[in-house]
Amino acid sequence: MLLGSRTASTPAGQEWRIARRWVTRSLPRWRRVPPGHAAAEALSIPEAGDASDLAATLAIAVGAVVVAVIVIPLLLFGIELVILGFVVAAGLVGRGLLGRPWVIDAGPVDEPTPTYTWEVSG
C-alpha cells in the first residue's frame, strides 16, 4: 500500500514516481467459504394463519429488515470509524516514537512496479 505518491523529473526528462509504503507486509488472502443448508432453512417461510397473524408477521418482518439493513450497519460503521482512528493514531505514534523506518519506493512512471527501495528513518 503506497501513500503520498509524487512524480519527479530526472535531468534527462524521464518521469519517476516516488512513494512511501505504509504496509510492509503483504495483505492477507481471504478464502471463500461455500454456503451450506443453513441459509435455505433460515429463509424458509412458515405457513400463515388468519389476517391478524399475517399483519403481525409482516410488521415484524419489515421491522427486522429495517433494523438489519439500516440501524445495525450505521452503528457498526460508527464503531469502525472510531477504531480506525485509534489504529491510525497508534501507527503514526509508533512510527515516530519507535523509530521504525519508512519504506520509500521509486521507479519510472511507465513501469507498474517500483525498481528501487530505501528504508528511511525520521
Element (H, E) at 60: helix 51-66
**Cell triple for 38:** 443453513
| Cα–Cα distances in angstroms (integers) from residue 110 to residues 6, 7, 113, in the given order | 14, 11, 9
Task: Identify the pLDDT of residue 17.
Answer: 86
Residue 7 pairs in a beta bridge with 17
Give the closest residue to 111 by CA, choosing from 38, 4, 7. Answer: 7
The tens-digit pLDDT sequence of the chain (122 residues) is 455 678 888 888 888 888 887 766 666 676 665 556 555 555 566 565 666 777 888 888 898 898 888 888 888 888 989 999 999 888 878 777 887 777 888 888 887 776 788 888 76
Domain boundaries, given as residue ranges, for the chain? 2-23+51-120
